[in-house]
Structure 1
Amino acid sequence: MRTRTAPKADPSSLAARFQAVRGLSVALVAPLSDADASVQSMDDASPAKWHLAHTTWFLETFVLRDFVSDYALYDDRFPFLFNSYYEAEGQRHARGRRGMVTRPALGEVIAYRAHVDAAVLAALPDLADAARDLVMLGCHHEEQHQELLITDVLHLMAQNPIEPAVWPAARKVPVAMPGPLGWIEGVAGVIEIGHGGDDFAFDCEGPRHAALLSPHALATRTVTNGEWADFIADGGYADARHWLSDGWAWVRGQAIFAPLYWERSDSGWTRFGLDGRRAIDPAAPVTHVSFYEADAYASWAGARLPSEAEWEAMASAQDPESGNQLDAAGPVEPRPATAGGGWFGDVWEWTGSAFRPYPGFRAVEGAVGEYNGKFMSGQCVLRGGSCATPRGHVRASYRNFFYPHQRWQFTGVRLAKDL
């Protein structure tokens, strides 16, 4: 959704973007078997096949069904199977049982995609502006699901005792640890944040509004694996002083002792990734940590998490297409920081801000109005994108959000402090 009317994309450029996005999704599942693509590893995750079908259902429903008069549904059972949370679209299959949908098989889902793709491309030159807007929204929506697909596949493979690599890769060459953490003084006083341009943005990114910032500084880079290992060695997971009450209950109740996918071996810490299990790279950004862990680390380090306004004020002058982001199917993981670090890519950065509506926010009418507004409760904002975020998808105003215990996404930590 957009905060305001955007320039109308001409059909040819929109068609090229549409084909690129849709092609990448299919490329991401190329290494998977039908079984790989059908299994659901937990309620928070969805099968890869479901992601492919849901993003197709979105286009079929909100573009073809609603704007192409002679279009007939590919299969009238699919809306029940592949609707996610749109109450206005009626009954749907329970989220936690998506892994029970062994049929349609992966091949049929890909055929469904091809059918819908052809219909959208054929209709595109004559679609109303509102329908083209929804095609663009469908592209951005699918990019969100590409990242979810990657992280859901990673979580699934981590449950397999043989820990198979999805994308085998050459052994990494160790690099030097980055220098000591530096600090950049942030902007203080009254600033404006939120999306205010004419290009695409999701509804939750606006309206643009004023925010008051006290004097503060932000770290020049995110926290590394090596620094996190120091936190563990110092008893960080066993010291209640650093944890929020809910976080302490979570870490004790779930027996959490390290980031997700870390294990201790005789030779040190290892992590499981899409290239299999390997030794952690001490210089790479730590990832797969929850908000609770991020907040505890910040307390241990004598710092805090930045607010989303502080983060956006600093990142707004940076190139959102820079950094380690997703360009094609292949191994996906955070990389050691270059000199000066970066603000986009590698890992989503937890902020200390709750995901709540900005002043003046109004959800749009209709089913697509359920896109973000209904989730503005109990979740925390993350900024900056990750190594699994398609390049070109994020911007300084982009607001990602997850519950404080969740950590199967590529989530990391940038520190802040008061001045």
Structure 2
Amino acid sequence: YRPADPRYRFLFNSYYEAVGPRHARPRRGLLTRPTIDEVVAYRRRIDDALSSLLAGDVPRPALELVELGIQHEQQHQELLLTDLLHLFAQNPLRPVYRAAGADEAVAPSVADPPAWVDYGGGLAEVGHDGTGFAFDCETPRHRVALAPYALASRPVTNGEWSEFVADGGYREPRLWLADGWARVQAEGWQAPLYWDRRDGEWLQMTLAGELAVDLQAPVSQVSYFEADAFARWRGARLPTEHEWEVAARAQSIEGNLASTGHLRPRPAVHDAQAPLRQLYGDVWEWTASAFAPYPGFRVAEGAVGEYNGKFMCGQYVLRGGSCATPEGHLRATYRNFFYPHQRWQFSGVRLARDR
């Protein structure tokens, strides 16, 4: 195999020191070449080469690298959509990526009131058990002690968030962590990222263009700082990632994922069989847990060791996937992570409280 273009090693190296130098990250958004056609041709070349390779007798370590690459690409399938939404939101023409279907305009008049689902706590095993694929940050499996707790039966809705806005939540410093309040003041936060108030109505930029905020759908595009402030305003808190994981193990992995084609959070559908609605899909749910190594975590050798471990500083864990997450990508043990001020992902809130 010969590289399509030796310069691509420099251009497409995202952050791997072991691979070598790279194009400066702050300047990536200024690139206009290679063209889309050239990128598609490059992708086809790689796909053909991999298909040829995998048709033969491939050593297990190589297969594991291919699987890691596929999982990594699935992550970027979601990031392509969230980046596209962010780009379109900067355009005053409010472009449409995919128009909403006629059936998507109809929503329940009132969302089910949130209920609390109790969990007994105690010692619990968390982390991946080694069956099937997992990223290294999901391991090793270990035991944690949990106090009795409760989780809200559904995520916080846009309607509930609008009450927080109307009550002056973005103007009350006592609700905010110090770093979060500094962001509110410096960046002028007044509502979730893509909300805009016009003629007495809240509008929201989506991949279907600018639409009226669906008050029954889960709030999205909020930061950890906002999620934490909202929870404090409601007299609750954010769940820890282990509380979330223990609760999630009892539920099937299904929901409003990218495969539904909606590409935006949808109102909850009542399901008597699922005590926690919208646990998977719709919005990633912020937790109170810092993205840190599990006890006994070991960084892998080589470039793949840079995949997660070196980012375990100053970021928070999100769980559950979103409306832009590819189907089949999620697990109860899956740990997403972002910095606490970042808000361009489909990130939302499920409340927790002590029992």
TM-score range, shorter chain: over 0.9
Percent identity, aligned pairs only?
Answer: 59
Aligned residue in 1 for 2:169: 236
CA distance in 2, matches of 1:100, 1:289: 27
- The SS at the match of 1:87 is coil
- Aligned match of 1:150 in 71, 78, 81? 81
Matched AA of 1:95: R
Aligned residue in 1 for 2:348: 412
CA distance in 1, matches of 2:262, 2:112: 26
Offset of residue 415 of structure 1: 0.2
Aligned residue in 2 for 1:215: 148
CA distance in 1, matches of 2:41, 2:252: 37
- The SS at the match of 1:88 is coil
Q: How does 1:72-111 map to 2 (within 5 A)?
A: 72-111=2-41
Q: How does 1:44-193 map to 2 (within 5 A)?
A: 71-126=1-56, 127-170=58-101, 172-193=105-126
CA distance in 2, matches of 1:323, 1:198: 23
- The SS at the match of 1:393 is coil
- The SS at the match of 1:287 is coil
Aligned residue in 2 for 1:30: none
For the 8 Å contact 2:285–2:347, the answer to whether it is kept is yes
Aligned residue in 2 for 1:14: none
Offset of residue 267 of structure 1: 4.1
Aligned residue in 2 for 1:197: 130
Aligned residue in 2 for 1:54: none
Q: Deviations over 1:291-344 (max 9, x none)?
A: 000000000000000000100000011112x0100117x541000011152310
Aligned residue in 1 for 2:218: 285
Q: How does 1:219-368 map to 2 (within 5 A)?
A: 219-320=152-253, 322-327=254-259, 330-340=261-271, 341-368=277-304
- The SS at the match of 2:55 is helix
Q: CA RMSD in A?
A: 1.1
Matched AA of 2:9: P
CA distance in 1, matches of 2:100, 2:70: 29
Aligned residue in 2 for 1:377: 313
For the 8 Å contact 1:226–1:282, the answer to whether it is kept is yes
Task: Tell me the TM-score normalized by structure 1.
Answer: 0.81
- Aligned match of 1:388 in 318, 324, 332? 324
- The SS at the match of 1:327 is helix
CA distance in 1, matches of 2:13, 2:190: 37
Larger mean Cα displacement after TM superposition, 296-305 or 103-112: 103-112
Matched AA of 1:389: T
Matched AA of 1:399: R
CA distance in 2, matches of 1:342, 1:117: 34
For the 8 Å contact 1:355–1:401, the answer to whether it is kept is yes
Instruction: Specify every segment of 5 or more residues in structure 1 that has no aligned partner in the other structure, as ranges.
Output: 1-70
- Aligned match of 2:338 in 402, 405, 409? 402
Offset of residue 170 of structure 1: 3.6
Q: Deviations over 1:99-158 (max 9, x none)?
A: 232121110010000111101001112222111111111110000000000000000001
Number of matched pairs: 347
Larger mean Cα displacement after TM superposition, 169-178 or 111-120: 169-178
- The SS at the match of 1:270 is strand
Instruction: Specify every segment of 5 or more residues in structure 2 that has no aligned partner in the other structure, as ranges.
Output: 272-276
Matched AA of 2:304: V
- The SS at the match of 1:134 is helix
CA distance in 2, matches of 1:372, 1:186: 30
Matched AA of 1:416: A
CA distance in 2, matches of 1:168, 1:232: 28
CA distance in 1, matches of 2:189, 2:4: 45
Offset of residue 197 of structure 1: 3.0
- The SS at the match of 1:204 is helix
CA distance in 2, matches of 1:112, 1:284: 39
Aligned residue in 2 for 1:53: none
Q: Deviations over 1:4-32 (max 9, x none)?
A: xxxxxxxxxxxxxxxxxxxxxxxxxxxxx
